[in-house]
Amino acid sequence: MFGYYIMNNIGIAFQTFASGLLFGLGSLFFLLFNGLTIGAVAGHLSQIGYGQTFWSFVIGHGAFELSAIVLSGAAGLQLGWALVAPGRLSRGEALRLSARQSIQMVGGVIVFLLIAAFIEAYWSSMTQLAPWIKYTVGAGLWLLVAAYLLLAGRSEHAPD
């Protein structure tokens, strides 16, 4: 399953990123579509009594996976914005400069997705653990991802 999760998640992230070349509209579409889909699934499963099964499965890897998809959408939107508002540069030059930054972000997305796939395959699918353990670990992983995204690279000497 580890390989399947990698293939599926990277496919979604790439789709969300690359569709930003449609002036950002593709990235917006896929972020909205995926958000509505996972929200509908979560709501339905919770409503019919499978909420604990669903949430205890998703909480662990969701921090990395969902953050990675949002970051890939942000990278795609960065590409789209370079096409929409290139400033004094040509659209091609603005896209080239924007792509350089976006690709760095996509590198981080890939790392997040590899971590998410590992957790999803080997932790989330474990049924022997009590749900409260999975919720506790999941909350810790969400805090870890939030701390990384908010604090990593922040220092007195970090470039603007």
pLDDT tier at 153, thresholds 50, 70, 90: confident
In this prediction, residues 83-102 reach a mean pLDDT of: 94
Q: At what angle do helices 25-47 and 2-18 cross, to 10 degrees?
A: 140
Q: Alpha-carbon distance 99 to 133, whole Å?
A: 41
pLDDT-derived band at 131, boundaries 50, 70, 90:
very high
The angle formed by the CA atoms of residues 115, 47 and 134, to the nearest 5 degrees, is: 30
Beta strands in 77-154 (DSSP E): none
pTM of the entire predicted model: 0.89
Q: Is the pLDDT of residue 155 over 80?
A: no
Q: 153 or 134, which is more confident?
A: 134
Structure tokens at 106: 């996509």
Separation CA 151–CA 77 (nearest Å): 23
- Proportion of the chain above pLDDT 70, given as a percent: 97
What whole-number distance in Å separates Cα of residue 39 and Cα of residue 46? Answer: 10
